[in-house]
Structure 1
């Protein structure tokens, strides 16, 4: 049983972050809503729980180890298990323990702020994007607090490789199989055992491809094993993390040299773990959004060619600027089936009176009004494009 080794609370409005949306929108696949509003997952080789009110995120950290392992960092940070000393006559031990506890809590807060990129103020970005894009302005009214996670590149890359021609629930199952079969046990919480994500070395070994095929990974088994071997030959996980320091186009080219990594997978990794905020993954959802609301001529295209992929990405980068990948995430999330045509209340511990529509879906009148606003929005965008052309 993993011990509770840390807890805390970070003030942050739901307009800045919505855990209930970003943790199940296909960025990361290891977060489970074990209880309503409580998210549990593995991060930095620890087990974390998050829940959110309208003004703050509360967290708990569980683990068996005495250190917080932060991938890619040169130094390890002491954990809270070292705080079992007793008071001596001069009270110096208690003071030392208190300082160590305070420092540990600050470390956990910093890890969370880094993972959720809370230093980026999405409210300000939403305003900027809404000023130049009336379609975004309409969509964003229902989808506040969407932001990009800053994930570990290893987990991010191999999770996205699993996503090829797949859906979120099956991707999540595959990622868990990787962890259970090749990762390390990090502890048990609430009767469930959690594992770390495997190292590149672990999944580069002979026989892994066949094992993954037997586990139901299909053709992705080959891509996972071969990409892991290529990364090992390039210098291992340090090489992969070093791409954070490379310009976007260079990092993307190097990723695309890996087995099974095309433009979309490379852009996902660039955006979600390599700090390339203008990387813009284009999949079927984004292609349809672009054709429907921004580039009507794309409706005549039958396949998403490399040329179209670049055209869509360049269009949105020109429109939204240096954080175009973040803006795309808002429209992508809004277009997902589990969120589409829903108006959800911000998470809160305070119970509120339910509306007449228990499903949370908009009423017919609301849908009609929303459709009218979207139609007007499309018209404005088309007029602006005609003037530009």
Structure 2
């Protein structure tokens, strides 16, 4: 079936948003790039984006089950534009933030290398759907961007709703909590699809959102975390199976409007040591809660209320696939050993692997993850009225 696309555009310079960087820097995992057109699905349409020096061009393809109506074009044009503004946090002026970061970078940076804020413009934090972000970052455990993207694609194809087709590719919506918990075979099917131990985390987290046993864990409460303080949001997320402190911080930053939060991993730690004045061991072997907390506050003291945004630029500049090897960081192996109430991280350099372990086995890619208690699979489903 041939679809005649109607493209609209609005002015936005690449210093405010660079799609090719933002959509592949580890924040989001479902955007596809075919012939320089970026595509993504919401619950009722495929969104298409492309960019030139001066404009963002956008179009959409409605879900196949929506009948064409004369008023549909106007409605979906407006809806798509509003989605783009919200998803990319466009009300926040990035160029102004970069000016502030460059000034602060010059005061605190000890490395003689050119500033990441000069080299990597147009990188902003997304405002993603909290439910999708939660499940996506559970998938990020012991993983890389390419594989996480494959998992997110698989979970949509298997459990989501068919939307439509574009350029020979079939698109599906992201599955709901009900989609991922309505059948006890969901976990085994996820394992068949290559999710490994993450299958259990996803299924049990979905159950918590649909079970009468957890009345406070609802999608409404998840979305309302955008209006709550960081501590409240963080503690809510830690109730969920497969979510440790680092994953919770990623969700807070990328979905819940907590712009100052800096998720700390070994890349971020090495940036603090190598390029700034953070006092710590370059060859650190253990990192406890205090160190994690200190690094997060360290970046906030430098970059202020948008420290999480600034950190994303520094992190992106450290990814070799985006900068052709400049500032290339080695992959690391991270091990956690539970020795006391305050867990420690064992960090060992090892190419092409990130493994996180405790006495009871492999867990999340999080320096401070403490495994959540398991949910009983026979839990009574939350009744709908």
Place the TM-score, normalised by the shorter chain, in its bin: 0.7 to 0.9
Match of 1:236 in 2: 218
Q: What runs of 5+ residues in structure 1 fail to find an aligned partner?
A: 68-79, 84-96, 344-389
Following superposition, the deviation at residue 236 of structure 1 comes to 3.1
| Alignment pair present for 1:333 and 2:332 | no
Q: Deviations over 1:17-63 (max 9, x none)?
A: 0000011111111111111x221221343112211011111011002
Retained in 2: the 8 A contact 1:147–1:326? yes
Q: Deviations over 1:172-205 (max 9, x none)?
A: 1111111011100001111111000000111123
Please give the alpha-carbon distance, in whole angstroms, between the structure 2 residues aligned to 1:277 and 1:159: 19
Following superposition, the deviation at residue 298 of structure 1 comes to 3.6
2:132 to 148, 155, 161: 155
| Alignment pair present for 1:133 and 2:105 | yes
Following superposition, the deviation at residue 5 of structure 1 comes to 7.0
| Alignment pair present for 1:111 and 2:88 | no
Counterparts in 2 of 1:24-63, with a 5 A limit? Answer: 24-35=24-35, 37-63=36-62
Match of 1:81 in 2: 68
Counterparts in 2 of 1:1-389, with a 5 A limit? Answer: 1=1, 3=3, 7-35=7-35, 37-64=36-63, 81-83=68-70, 101-102=73-74, 104-134=76-106, 135=109, 138-205=115-182, 206-232=184-210, 233=214, 234-294=216-276, 295-341=278-324
Kindly indicate which of the two structures has a greater share of residues assigned to helix. Answer: 1
What TM-score do the two structures reach when normalised by structure 2? 0.77
Following superposition, the deviation at residue 273 of structure 1 comes to 0.8
Retained in 2: the 8 A contact 1:280–1:325? yes
Following superposition, the deviation at residue 274 of structure 1 comes to 0.8
Give the ranges of 4+ consecutive aligned residues of structure 1 lying more than 4 Å apart after TM superposition: 1-6, 100-104
How many pairs does the alignment contain? Answer: 315
Please give the alpha-carbon distance, in whole angstroms, between the structure 2 residues aligned to 1:280 and 1:153: 17
What TM-score do the two structures reach when normalised by structure 1? 0.76
Please give the alpha-carbon distance, in whole angstroms, between the structure 2 residues aligned to 1:242 and 1:281: 21
Q: Deviations over 1:226-261 (max 9, x none)?
A: 111122233532221121121111101110111110
Higher radius of gyration, 1 or 2: 1
RMSD: 2.1
Using a 3 Å threshold, how does the CA distance of structure 1 residues 194 and 310 change in structure 2: closer, same or farther?
A: same
Following superposition, the deviation at residue 289 of structure 1 comes to 0.8
